[in-house]
Chains A and B, each alone.
Chain A
Amino acid sequence: MTEKIISSKGIYNEFPRKGRNNPAPAATHYCPGCGHGILHKLIGEALADLGLQDKTVTISPVGCAVFAYYYFDTGNIQVAHGRAPAVATGVSRATDKIVIAYQGDGDLASIGLNETLQAANRGEKIAVFFVNNTVYGMTGGQMAPTTLIGEKTVTCPDGRDPLTQGYPLHLCELIASLQAPVFVERVALSDSKNIRNARRAVRKALEVQRDGKGYTFVEVLSPCPTNLGQSAVANNDFINEQMIREYPLGNFRDRTEEAEPVVRPDSDFTRESLDTLFELDSIPPSIPHDDAADTETQVKIAGFGGQGVLSLGIMLTEAAQAASKQVSWYPSYGPEQRGGTSNCSVIISKQAIGSPVVYNPDLLVAMNRPSFERFKNDVKPGGIIMYDAQIGDVELPPGVKGVAVPAQDLAEQAGSSRAANTIMFGVMLELGITRLPEAAFARALEANFAKKPKLIPLNLKILEFARQWVKNNVR
């Protein structure tokens, strides 16, 4: 009798990636009786039959299938422990090709459970093949999340006790509780009937991928005679008699008919599209400005969150930018913005700006009492503090000029209770502290309210109102 070896489809005939000087180039690295070989064969065959090898990237996990790339005749990526669904997501989003994440129970159900559930919940276009053999294989037979109650492993030598080690995790059931997955099924490799069913499920999962319909999850109950300390035959009996009782076979989700292909757009790399996106054609020309002075103006603006402190700073920055000045804006950021006090630094200069943080301002704008008290002593000798008159009587540091602006009242008189910052902006303009041209202030208001153009005329009016107030009230 002559021996006939039928070569596998979708799988390399020899495995040179096993290493140099390999004495058995056609032997796998798997133990005798292991289920991985059967599942590899089923997947490879389906890929070949469906003509998908040129379009497929297979992801090898950490675990016994860490070397899956020795075998699958597709593109191959080996990844970190438990991260296959995340890597698969990256490959899928980038390429829109077919992606297989092949994982064991420690990898998928323990260290990688978050990635597993999140990828499933997003309905990523990936085929997950999950080998459940109730035990860690590669690392030497430790307890897995899928270890049965009472089952002995290296790390539960007296058998898994649910009081200390919890209960077996049911992955198909977990995945099927999510809305996005298209196909979820549990199969087994324990006898020829079960293998035929597994073959069908593997194919179906890959057909869903071929059609770009979304996430598929096939859990495969698989033998591990080495780590379970059983013969191959006994291990199959263990699957049929004990595992299936805990992990019933069957389909948990099948939306293959109704699911629509998920279409991803092509990336646009043209300069024109980028320039349009950033509205580069609508940048106004800079405002001519003949300020010969070579001085730097440092401004600190502070107040309660919601008083427009940060946007007043940005308006000032816009005005300086419009006049082609060097300028920087730096906010206090984070929780301070939410409810508490907030402040920002603006530096306007002819030279390149060093530190963007203002410690000793030429101008302090204090919208409330705490801000006034906190920063008043930092103001440079000869500097100015503009503060809201509502804060009442103040004590000014020696050599510092104070301007009490009834900003909130003026804003309300001018037609907007939320425009105290625009009032301050107008006072700044009229006092000439920043030496920026008038047109730059108007430009800044337009830029600031570009998204709410209806507010531009009102704020221009408020700006003018503030200037009049200065003319009438400030000597």
Chain B
Amino acid sequence: MATKLIKGNTAVVIGALYAGSDCFFGYPITPASEILHEASRFYPPLGRKFLQAESEEASINMCYGAAAAGHRVFTASSGPGISLMQEGVSYLAGAELPTVIVDIMRAGPGLGNIGPEQSDYNQVVKGGGHGNYKNIVLAPNSVQEMCDYTMLAFELAFKWRTPVYVLADGVLGQMIEPFTFPEKAIAPVIDKTWAVNGNAETRQNLVTSIFLDFAQLEEFNNRLQVKYADIERTETRCEQQNTDDADIILVAYGISSRIAKTAMDNARRQGLKVGLFRPQTLFPFPKKQINALADKNVTFIAVEMSNGQLADDLRLAISCRRPVELVNRLGGNLVTLDQVMNKIKAVAGK
């Protein structure tokens, strides 16, 4: 096992390379730019294709092209750039093309600032562009997972022929931790059943998202919903700590889950029965698992760097059966340990 100190953004590129990605298209934006830098550094020596696009619209459409050709392509950006990509993501979903998109979230709205936030939750988890589609969304919380989830993202993107996001934030992108390199490197094979690869076998293939006939488009939309239900059934991932006997369950993803973990440990030391529920997939949201917890008399506390976007989904998932409290910060600030501890104590009545 080869272990090195690696930055979160670099780990994404390492994951993509070991996952057999041979194309990267991207546009600079803080705090995601290192992904672009590292791709420019590591793709060409392996003969893999790197291109700095003229815009995020161009990046995502270059991805659309490479994905349509059956290649393992990815791009990375942050809030404002992700907003610009939404048209392309809708087309990817409509044409059922596999593409990995890494979002290193920053603070909005508008230009906002470059500090960390988790405010792209809705625009990423709910689809984001026009039409009845969803993206698989993976939420890492360490440098190691930045790599591992990027690898998983490629696997799921091709398994389900759908765009897959790795949703991280400025802290995860910028931090350095010990990192173990992947055990295997994937040499991908083009799927000739659907890809348009410019050869005899794929000459009759067509990539499009047009269904002029209303009945046909409805049929296609329904098929997409079946796919999302299958994804929900088979791809849901979450991590639970100390939830068995908990009265209070912190719910958090990404960097907020690291802060929540510290708060949980503190609270346990003080004799408070606090657990942590961390969705590792945001779509599919781990509904079944959270509902099992909601069967008990617990209070949930959503810990997030957004305006209750996660808390809302949590309420929806449990049909508002239990109280859902919110601890959050906005504007580029991290939720602090004190904030979480105060909320825990308030809920516990201490």
Show the binding face of A for B, using Cβ within 8 Å. 17, 19-20, 53-57, 59-60, 66-67, 69, 73-80, 83, 86-95, 97-99, 114-115, 118, 122, 264-271, 273-275, 277-278, 280, 283, 314, 317-318, 321, 326-331, 333-335, 352-357, 359
26 contacts between A and B (CB under 8 A): A19-B212, A19-B213, A56-B198, A59-B65, A60-B208, A66-B210, A76-B207, A78-B208, A80-B64, A80-B87, A83-B58, A89-B25, A91-B66, A93-B66, A122-B51, A269-B22, A274-B18, A277-B46, A280-B2, A329-B176, A330-B176, A333-B30, A334-B114, A353-B177, A355-B337, A357-B171
Q: When chains A and B are docked, how far (Å) is the Cα of A321 from the Cα of B176?
A: 11
Q: Which of A79, A355, A359 is the most central at the interface, judged by chain B CB atoms within 10 Å of its CB?
A: A355
Q: When chains A and B are docked, how far (Å) is the Cα of A115 from the Cα of B114?
A: 27
In the complex, identify which listed stretch (B118-126, B220-228, B257-265, B287-295) lies at the interface while the others stay far away: B257-265
> Are A268 and B48 in contact (CB-based, < 8 A)?
yes
> Are B258 and A353 in contact (CB-based, < 8 A)?
yes
Within the complex, the shortest CB–CB distance from A394 to chain B, in Å, comes to 26
> Are B178 and A327 in contact (CB-based, < 8 A)?
yes
> Are A83 and B88 in contact (CB-based, < 8 A)?
yes
Q: Which of A67, A91, A328 is the most central at the interface, judged by chain B CB atoms within 10 Å of its CB?
A: A91
Interface pairs A-B: 7 shortest CB-CB: A90-B65, A97-B198, A354-B262, A265-B47, A86-B61, A90-B62, A269-B187
Q: A277-B46, A314-B176 are in contact. Are A86 and B171 (CB under 8 A)?
A: no
Within the complex, the shortest CB–CB distance from B291 to chain A, in Å, comes to 27
Interface SS majority for chain B = mixed
- Residue in contact with A87 in the complex, picked from B45, B55, B61, B265, CB distance below 8 Å: B61
In the complex, identify which listed stretch (B68-76, B158-166, B267-275, B307-315) lies at the interface while the others stay far away: B68-76
Q: Which of A114, A273, A278 is the most central at the interface, judged by chain B CB atoms within 10 Å of its CB?
A: A278
Q: When chains A and B are docked, how far (Å) is the Cα of A92 from the Cα of B62?
A: 9
Cβ of B185 < 8 Å from any Cβ of A? yes
Q: A78-B207, A86-B58, A266-B47 are in contact. Are A94 and B73 (CB under 8 A)?
A: yes
- Residue in contact with B174 in the complex, picked from A83, A118, A274, A333, CB distance below 8 Å: A333
Chain B contact residues (Cβ within 8 angstroms of A): what range? Answer: 35 or more
Q: When chains A and B are docked, how far (Å) is the Cα of A273 from the Cα of B177?
A: 24
The digit string for B246-288, where 1 denotes a CB below 8 A from any CB of A, is: 0000000001001101110100000000000000000000000
Within the complex, the shortest CB–CB distance from A297 to chain B, in Å, comes to 15
> Are A118 and B54 in contact (CB-based, < 8 A)?
yes
> Are B171 and A356 in contact (CB-based, < 8 A)?
yes
**Which residue from chain B places its CB closest to the CB of A20 in the assembled complex?**
B213
Q: A75-B197, A90-B23, A355-B259 are in contact. Are A57 and B14 (CB under 8 A)?
A: no
> Are B174 and A55 in contact (CB-based, < 8 A)?
no
> Are A77 and B58 in contact (CB-based, < 8 A)?
no
Instruction: Beyond A86-B64, A267-B22, list 5 extra A-B contacts (CB 8 Å).
Output: A87-B68, A114-B55, A274-B18, A283-B4, A327-B178
Interface SS majority for chain A = mixed
> Are A280 and B51 in contact (CB-based, < 8 A)?
no
> Are A90 and B198 in contact (CB-based, < 8 A)?
no
Within the complex, the shortest CB–CB distance from A461 to chain B, in Å, comes to 25
Q: Which of A59, A90, A275 is the most central at the interface, judged by chain B CB atoms within 10 Å of its CB?
A: A90
Within the complex, the shortest CB–CB distance from A280 to chain B, in Å, comes to 4
Q: When chains A and B are docked, how far (Å) is the Cα of A114 from the Cα of B199?
A: 30
Within the complex, the shortest CB–CB distance from A160 to chain B, in Å, comes to 27
> Are B205 and A115 in contact (CB-based, < 8 A)?
no
Within the complex, the shortest CB–CB distance from B297 to chain A, in Å, comes to 27
> Are B2 and A75 in contact (CB-based, < 8 A)?
no
Q: Determine the chain B residues whose CB is within 8 A of the CB of A73 once the complex forms.
A: 203
Q: A280-B181, A327-B178, A354-B265 are in contact. Are A273 and B46 (CB under 8 A)?
A: yes
Q: Determine the chain B residues whose CB is within 8 A of the CB of A118 once the complex forms.
A: 53-54, 58
Q: Determine the chain A residues whose CB is within 8 A of the CB of B184 once the complex forms.
A: 271
Q: When chains A and B are docked, how far (Å) is the Cα of A80 from the Cα of B69?
A: 16
Chain B residues 101 to 115 lying within 8 A of chain A, measured CB to CB, are 113-115
Cβ of B31 < 8 Å from any Cβ of A? yes
